[in-house]
Chains A and B, each alone.
Chain A
Amino acid sequence: MLDLFFQQLINGLSLGALYALIAVGYTVVYGIVQLINFAHGEIFMVGAFGAFATWMLLGQPTDWGVSASLLILLPLMLLGGIVVSVTVALLTERFAYRPLRNAPRLAPLITAIGVSVFLQEFVRLFYGRIPGFPDAKSAIPFPSVAGISGEIVRIGSVTIQMPALFTIVALAISTLFLWFFVNRSKTGRAMVATSQDPDTARLMGINVDKVIVAAFAVGAGLAAIAGVAHGLNYGNIDFRMGFLAGLKAFTAAVLGGIGNINGAVVGGLVLGVVEAMATTFIPGQFGSSAWKDVWAFALLILVLVFRPQGLLGAKVVDRA
């Protein structure tokens, strides 16, 4: 029983780490422009495809050894994914959201949904049209990385899949990086200032446009890492993968307190663990995996009713 608990805890944490990596993007952008970027799930998706495309450009290697895979292939795939995600995110910011900066809030929200549909269909257009790009109707097999794919670590009777461990480690490193960025870098401080009071931030000499670009870029970078993690964990990717993952990550961001970076990380992990535990410890058909999304969103509703500012969200402080 206890072993099962720890097993599910690990599974939940790895799932949650994936949500958390995506959730940070929702929360950072929301904190600064008060926009729920519903296309962020697609930024995660194009990150996975960016990594996949990088692998194709490398000649679709399948026989690299462990050290070559971990030291060259994986970093290059991560880099490729990040470049694609960040580029796409910045293009959407520049051409879709920025022109609507002073429009009523519904306009950018609907635009975000439009961008989401556009990106899905755009990626779908590549299917079967590029040499080497599989003509798959649904899922494309994600390249396996020696040393991670299919490997496991055993601690007692708890089995940890290496891709799951990769996700957790990636989140840990990303969170550390984020902490330094936000608290120690000038751009990070400018970002916090802008999220607290944009007009006063401008009076300090902060170029708010640049801060917004930085926010989109940071969120996209982490989403790309999540994209690679998703590919490694599930073994395949497809152009629709951003929808549910994005929705869950958004839930995680709200759960933790939207606008709060630590909240996004905590919210993601909590959501992942709750899902994993629900499918194991809730008896009968309600514990079946078909119900896990129900429990995830039920948790969201409970938090919204009893703690609408989220788990870590502070009460709104007046600015008198």
Chain B
Amino acid sequence: MLEVKDMVVAYGRVNAVKGISFTVEEGQIVTLLGTNGAGKSTTLRAVSGLLKLVSGEIWFQGARLDGTPAHRVVELGIAQSPEGRRLFRQMTVEDNLKLGAYSRRDTAAIRSDMDRVYDLFPVLGSRRSEPAGLFSGGEQQMLAIGRAMMSRPKLLMLDEPSMGLSPIMTQTIMKTIRDLQADGVTILLVEQNAQAALSLADRGYVLEVGQIMFSDTGRNLLGDDRVKLTYLGAD
């Protein structure tokens, strides 16, 4: 579904991503692991069209994706819930969700998708006309994911959805991700919480300073000594 080939992305003259390749198959959950500065968010921003590639290619559903303006990428079926949630804090929950559906015209279906988000996260439904900035970190994360779902993406990219959340809230978010997969959404997940991410993932890629060090199935990576040492904090 998504194929990234030898992608190089730079901020100014510094290459943040130095020639990475990976694929996401339809219906899978794929996770990118790595420490701060490994290039995970940069990768997602490049796929979304917010950053230009220095070299390399991105393919989505058999068509070349790189060079497509960001708003077109959304129309093609790729949504992103960005790092740090980036909600429109002064706007209400409802307005945030409406903006998530900005690329769509089917008003009735938008309404029912919105109700679905409220079913999934009841706290959002009961406080739908309050500004997003008033919600707790976990609730804001729910809204960020809900907002990304509102474009009815084929591929949903989540950048550190568990950041700053309690273990219980992290579990809720991870369960939501699994439910989305069951609904047929393909997911590219960037996480620092390797344990949680790998338990979900069909496949994982480990990034370090802009390069992919190794990749394997989620299950194998959970048992991998190198991963254990660096990301799982076990000896």
Contact = CB atoms under 8 A, between A and B. Distances in A.
Interface of A: 186, 189-190, 192-193, 196-197, 199-208, 317, 319-320
Given A189-B99, A204-B102, A196 B82 contact: no
Interface residues of B, number: 26
Given A203-B48, A203-B74, A319-B84, A190 B90 contact: no
B86 interface: yes
A204 B90 contact: no
A201 B103 CA distance: 11
Contact of B71 (A208, A317, A319): A208
Contacts, number: 64
A192 B90 CA distance: 10
B228 interface: no
B92 to A, nearest CB: 11
Interface string B98-137: 1110110000000000000000000000000000010000
Contacts of B99: 189-190, 193, 201, 204, 206
Contacts of B184: none
A319 B89 CA distance: 8
B74 A319 contact: no
Contacts of A317: 89-90, 133
Given A202-B70, A202-B71, A204-B74, A189 B98 contact: yes
B200 to A, nearest CB: 23
Interface centre among A197, A201, A203 (most CB of B within 10 A): A203
B95 A199 contact: no
B71 A205 contact: yes
B151 interface: yes
Given A192-B91, A203-B86, A319-B84, 20 more contacts: A186-B102, A189-B98, A190-B99, A193-B88, A200-B88, A202-B48, A202-B49, A203-B70, A203-B80, A203-B82, A204-B74, A204-B100, A204-B103, A205-B71, A205-B102, A206-B71, A206-B102, A207-B71, A317-B90, A317-B133
A319 B88 CA distance: 9
B79 interface: yes
Nearest to B87: A200
Contacts of A186: 102
A203 B79 CA distance: 7
28 contacts: A189-B95, A189-B99, A190-B102, A193-B91, A193-B99, A196-B88, A196-B89, A196-B90, A196-B91, A200-B86, A200-B88, A202-B48, A202-B49, A202-B50, A203-B74, A204-B99, A204-B102, A204-B147, A204-B151, A205-B71, A205-B103, A205-B151, A206-B71, A206-B102, A207-B69, A207-B71, A317-B90, A317-B133
